[in-house]
Amino acid sequence: MSITYAEESNVFTLETKNSTYQMEIGKYGHLFHTYYGRNIGDSTVTYLTRGADSGFSGNCHEAYLVDERTYSLDEYKQEYPTFGSADFRSSCLAIQYGDGSRTTELRYKSHRIYGGKYELPGLPAMWGEENQWDTLEIVLEDAHFPVEVTLYYGVLSQYDIITRAVRIENHMNEPVYLERALSACVELQDYGYDMISFYGRHNMERTFQRRPLYHGKQVVDSVRGTSSHQQNPFVILCDSNANEEYGNCYGLSFVYSGNFIAETEVDQYDQTRTVMGIHPTGFRYQLEEGACFYAPEVVCAYSGAGLGQLSRNYHKACQKHLCKSKFANERRPILINNWEATTFDFNEEKLLSIAREAQELGVEMLVMDDGWFGVRNSDHSGLGDWFVNREKLPNGVEGLADKVCSIGMKFGIWVEPEMVNENSDLFREHPDWCLHIPGRKGVYSRAQLVLDMARPEVREYLFQMIGGILDCGKISYVKWDMNRHLTDVWSGILPAERQGEAYHRYVLGLYDLVNRFTTTYPEVLFEGCSGGGGRFDAGWLYYMPQSWCSDDTDAIERLHIQYGTSFGYPISAVGSHVSVVPNQQTGRVTPLHTRGVVAMSGTFGYELDITEMTEEEKEIVQAQIRQFKEDYELIQRGDYYRLTNLEENHEYAAWQFVSDDQKKALLNVVILHARANAPFITIQVKGLREEETYVCKELDITAKGAAFLYAGIPVPREKGDYISFQFHFESL
């Protein structure tokens, strides 16, 4: 059992392979945090819990009665801080009670330790066999009102993972209102840390950003209704001198696809507190008598060996204990998507011509993108009308699917279930089904509105209409898109006093619908998309094993996007394709070989009109597909190493995959800056066994692993823009 409770000292200890997490019940019942970091064995470090008689830091009533002025919640590190109880720092919980008061002070009530992993009704969460996980539940109760808060801790020892979640129960005879209900608080002893977050925009998501912490608050958040392109619900705190191989690193990943906040505060005593959960802006949740609210899961991970190991922990845990799809552990087909080739202008014969050409080159699936349904010749009409456009597809989706399958390929479709155009039959029949504020002119984006996913009738309509297409049994893949963020958030099924629940109920309804699709059609591979990477989060990964990483398909831009993505998400989740040049987003011209090298660090496919390729280009495509199939397990399941920091090294990018048994490795290099009389480049590889002998096939070099690890390999000097290389290492 990785969780213990010492009754004599009231100390809980959570132990993973390389970390220890410890907390204690204080003398007056408050739950204090004592330690999180490198494994310290069976030591108890309650001596780190200390206070001082500090001005303007108040004392709880029991401490006041005995004049114990050193006991203040404003000074102690806490497991689940609340608003109004003399802790003036960032809080996790704020409740408005029936009398209008907003003070909550939680005290220990009970706990339970058991094997296996807790579950969160209606929410995605990590999972696993009973012998893989241990769970701790700690029940806290307000000192004045009968409101209970249960803290969940799940321990996955192998990958140094500790998950956090919360259940809030109202045992009063009247409703209360949750105004802040975050999922986790992580306290660190001092403030000498950097914060790493991942910002961006549409077509440039998850850009790496590292900055030192300072006194006060630093916030990463989204109030766009989704996790967003602009900020990602994943942050890292690390030692200021931490790098890929050295230093303490703490990760927090939010398993949720809606509004979120990650707030880090350095307080007056130089302590660092990070809280994460549903964003309180726009949130006010009515909790009726006897009702429960579940706050989504946060996946915390620790590495004492740098950022690289932290990422590999997340990669393995996500692949094996987060994604529920059977495709998480199966080879996925190499596909070609027609969007950049045709946009809305296609018909059955055009798609079949792409399929025939692609099949001859080794592509395994054709995906029909936007424009196959309703009256859909632009983005101004048709969304919501999930019936076939017979002008484009006279034989219907099933007829096209039959023909594609007869060629020897699989077939997939694009959908955007959450959206509706005003110019659609659905909107004309049910204008009340979209999020809108009665009497107010709404905001439009991409000429579309957002359906209210909290409405059961909306979810049922979507399931029946889109499910009717999938029922033909010839569709092997669905790309689920979302091309705008939420505005005018008002739900017609909620009374005025409960509109603060609309954002969260939208996400719960969406999860319900996605879960219904993915469980009803387990043989269909679902890929997430939101204008590319606008909903690339752990919550979505639970249902779909991959997401389109970005609408920016430029290989050089993708290096930056995929670099940032790799810190918290596995390569197997990264949708990445080879596209045409000049690139449609940037106009850049990049060699086809380099476009392939970059796209291979993902699910791999093509996003172009393959019928317009030259014979030479087609030969390169065939070679890429053969190579990717040979390297598939190594890329998708191997350990991932970032060898260059793209924010610092503007000369070249290098990254590597190593098999679990360390018998094989693949090193990728892209030259970013062509130079006359260029300097030599030598790269030290990672992950090989020092005493084992390896051969690098491309360089025809045989040497001990130690030589490749410490002396490195020479990168050839070649002329041209954005030249790339792949080097394979194999144990003899």
Q: Is 601 helix (H, G, I), strand (E, B) or coil?
A: coil
The 3-state DSSP composition of the chain as helix, strand, coil percent (nearest 5) reads 25, 35, 45
Question: In 10 A of CB 50, how many CB atoms?
Answer: 9
Phi and psi torsions of 408, nearest 5°: 110, 20
Structure tokens at 370: 């936007």
Q: Give me the residues paired with residue 4 across strands.
A: 13
Question: In 10 A of CB 333, how many CB atoms?
Answer: 20
**DSSP classification of residue 625:** H
Catalytic one among 169, 179, 609, 617? 617
C-alpha to C-alpha distances, 624 to 63, 461, 597, 726, nearest whole angstrom: 70, 42, 8, 11
Q: Are the beta carbons of 552 and 586 closer than 8 angstroms?
A: yes
Q: Kind and range of the H or E element at 457?
A: helix 456-470
Number of H helices, E strands in the chain: 13, 38
105 is catalytic: no
> What is the C-alpha to C-alpha distance for residues 382 and 483, in angstroms, rounded to an integer?
14
425 is catalytic: no
Catalytic one among 75, 537, 551, 631? 537
Determine if the peptide bond prior to 582 is cis (ω within 30°): yes
Radius of gyration of the chain from its Cα atoms, rounded to whole angstroms? 27
> What is the C-alpha to C-alpha distance for residues 223 and 283, in angstroms, rounded to an integer?
10
CA angle at 167 for the pair 135 and 312, rounded to the nearest 5°: 50
Count CA atoms within 13 Å of residue 341 on its CB side: 26
Q: Which residues of 675-707 are buried (b: 16+ CB within 10 A; e: fewer)?
A: eeeeeebebebbbbeeeeebebeeeeeebbbeb
Q: Point out the residues that are catalytic.
A: 537, 617
